[in-house]
Structure 1
Amino acid sequence: MTAGPTADGVGRGAGRDTGPGAANGAGRFAPSPSGDLHIGNIRSGLLAFVRARQTGRRFLWRIEDLDRVKPGAAESQLAVFAELGVTPDEEPLVQSSRLHRYAAAIDRLDKAGLVYECYCSRKDIAQAPSAPHAPPGAYPGTCRHLGEGDREARRAELAEQGRQPALRLRTDNAAHSIHDELLGEVTATVDDLVLRRGDGVFAYNLTVVVDDSASGVDEVLRGDDLASSAPRQAYLAGLLGAGPMGWLHVPLVLNSDGRRLAKRDGAVTYQQLCALGWTVADVFAWMQQSLGFDDADENWTGIDDMVAHLDFGRLDAQPTVFVPPSGD
């Protein structure tokens, strides 16, 4: 089923004043306000800004505050990017102010017969036999075909525990593909993904689709650890009547052990690096080196240099390693 946009605010451009530049589309950066951003997060955000500027899109900022939130983190993240010369073209979109939009999207899917309650815990899912050819962690469909009597009993069991059912999307459980500008074709099986968690929090895959559509985002640039989520988000976007999306998943920044960079790895945040003497120019010099453009004649010292000289056609799909300075 593919539904067209309606007045409920789910379809492309609905529910938000996207301004006169909306026809040109938008890119976005959407960090979780759970703390200071490390240099890898910052690199992804700068790449999103550069891509938007080079392609004539608006650059938007979204505060994904439905889960982990550290007071003041959102403001600190915006302030860091301002110091680096980057400010969003519109006021940031705050997810916690948009719960009615996510509820409306689920209601729309429910009316189309595409939503069902799920009573499984993570342990239940991990221990259940997987469907043939299903990827690891895919939902095995345990609650998909339960009768109403079974549903009432399971619902009552959860209520006694002070819990509520999760809500899942009834999909075709087939492989779907998207085209990524850097990775090429990305294919993944779209299982019955969660729309609202058992704790009542709207799920990531739903909120990003609803928000990107409402904001006029037509290309997503983010870390390639999220590439496998793109087919399911594109599938859900089609059901909600959103327009086509472009994808560009960029390589992660890793630590010296080859694992994803984290704050426990040392001086990795902008604030920590500045405390060790880094300047804005040092940040952009590292961006130039890490992205493979250090052989150019021009040295990047600010965001304008990055916009002028970064060539996305030359990006390497391999990750880069960040070794934090010791401060000695």
Structure 2
Amino acid sequence: MSSYVGRFAPSPTGPLHFGSLVAAVASYCDARANQGQWLVRIEDLDKPREVKGAAQDILHCLEAYGFSWDGEVIYQSKQTAHYAIALQQLQAWVYPCTCTRKEIADSSTRQGIEGFIYPGNCLHHPIKPQAPVAWRVKTQDFVDHFHDNIQGALHQQLATDIGDFVLKRADGLFAYQLAVVVDDAMQGVTHVVRGADLLYSTSRQRYLQLLLQLPTLNYAHIPIVMNADGEKLSKQTLAPAILANDASTQLLNALAFLKQTPPDSLHNATLATIWAWAIAHWDIHKITA
């Protein structure tokens, strides 16, 4: 085994759809082609959005499609003690915030790449001492330069592009950005292959890795799968679930989307044969941004 450790980390907000399959196939092939490990993590922190039974349905679907993961499946909902320790380690860089989204929208004068930039209302003290508190991290003057294995060279200045961002929400739930950084470090993840919808989260995660003195990772962000209306294929856009009885066809479609050009001879092949071909011929450099 090489030192490569990859992972697939779906959220149990519904069944897997074709966009999810593409991300899983890309991360799996890249790990196996590099003689690495491939882990599965269920990102179930946001309990209000979780669909009952979805986590097990996802795992059963992955098995039906021929995926085989290493080690036990990690559930974020069972990792919160580790997130609390990380937040404590960041005490010099975080501050309490009582602002609601509406208040931020009303008071912000700057638009970033993902919405309004937090104007720092609570930077020195919470403006509503009795209100529920979220915890934000100061982005300061952090400027990130990194090379994505698909998207190429990227540059982000957190203060102007994102602003101080939340690590723990006012409802007590830890935010994705902190949880994913802690989990990747604890699981020894070295390579992240995921959808380009998370491309602009990367600099936030690299910033937290720096503050927590954790290893930085290798990233590759694959193109987003769109529906006929040009929208990202997702549960919110009612993407249909992938079916176990259509596994071979869907797997070949995923490989074709990833520019791997599977030959026609695989159309009547077994899942095992398709996977063997996919891993042996995997070339991440064929994928275009």
1:29 correspondence with 2:8:
yes
Task: Select the residue among 104, 129, 132 that pairs with 1:155.
Answer: 129
In structure 2, C-alpha distance between the alignment counterparts of 1:102 and 1:266, rounded to whole Å: 32
Partner of 1:254: helix, strand, or coil?
coil
Deviation at 1:54, TM superposition (A): 1.2
Larger radius of gyration, structure 1 or 2? Answer: 1
CA contact (8 A) 1:36 1:73 kept: yes
Task: Select the residue among 93, 105, 108 that pairs with 1:126.
Answer: 105
Deviation at 1:143, TM superposition (A): 1.1
In structure 1, C-alpha distance between the alignment counterparts of 2:71 and 2:185, rounded to whole Å: 15
CA contact (8 A) 1:178 1:234 kept: no
Residue pairs, 1:1-328, within 5 angstroms: 24-67=3-46, 68-110=49-91, 113-130=92-109, 135=113, 136-146=115-125, 151=126, 154-156=128-130, 158=131, 164-190=132-158, 191-263=163-235, 268-271=240-243, 279-294=246-261, 296=263, 299=266, 301=269, 302-317=274-289
Task: Output the TM-score relative to the length of structure 1.
Answer: 0.79
The 1:264/1:141 distance shift into structure 2, 3 A limit, reads closer
- Specify the code of the residue in structure 1 equivalent to 2:251: F
- What is the total number of aligned residue pairs between the two structures? 277
Partner of 1:247: helix, strand, or coil?
strand
CA contact (8 A) 1:130 1:140 kept: yes
Deviation at 1:294, TM superposition (A): 3.3
CA contact (8 A) 1:254 1:260 kept: yes
In structure 2, C-alpha distance between the alignment counterparts of 1:269 and 1:195, rounded to whole Å: 31
- Specify the code of the residue in structure 2 equivalent to 1:79: H
Q: CA offsets per residue over residues 21-51 of structure 1, 9 Å max, x none?
A: 6x71411100001110101111101111111
- Specify the code of the residue in structure 2 equivalent to 1:179: H
Deviation at 1:293, TM superposition (A): 3.4
Q: CA offsets per residue over residues 149-196 of structure 1, 9 Å max, x none?
A: xx3x6222x1xxxxx210011221443222100111222232211110
- Where has structure 1 moved over 6 Å in runs of 4 or more? 264-267
Unaligned runs of 5+ in 2: none
In structure 1, C-alpha distance between the alignment counterparts of 2:26 and 2:153, rounded to whole Å: 21
In structure 2, C-alpha distance between the alignment counterparts of 1:202 and 1:311, rounded to whole Å: 36
Q: CA offsets per residue over residues 285-320 of structure 1, 9 Å max, x none?
A: 212332233375763753222212221111122xxx
RMSD: 2.1
- Specify the code of the residue in structure 1 equivalent to 2:278: M
Deviation at 1:284, TM superposition (A): 2.2
Moved more, 135-144 or 188-197: 135-144
Partner of 1:117: helix, strand, or coil?
strand
- Specify the code of the residue in structure 2 equivalent to 1:166: A
CA contact (8 A) 1:25 1:216 kept: no
The 1:267/1:106 distance shift into structure 2, 3 A limit, reads closer
Q: Percent identity?
A: 35
The 1:196/1:266 distance shift into structure 2, 3 A limit, reads closer
Task: Output the TM-score relative to the length of structure 2.
Answer: 0.89
Partner of 1:262: helix, strand, or coil?
coil
In structure 2, C-alpha distance between the alignment counterparts of 1:204 and 1:98, rounded to whole Å: 12
Q: CA offsets per residue over residues 55-97 of structure 1, 9 Å max, x none?
A: 2221001111111222211111111111111121011111111
- Specify the code of the residue in structure 2 equivalent to 1:289: A
Deviation at 1:266, TM superposition (A): 6.8
In structure 2, C-alpha distance between the alignment counterparts of 1:118 and 1:267, rounded to whole Å: 36
- Specify the code of the residue in structure 2 equivalent to 1:154: K
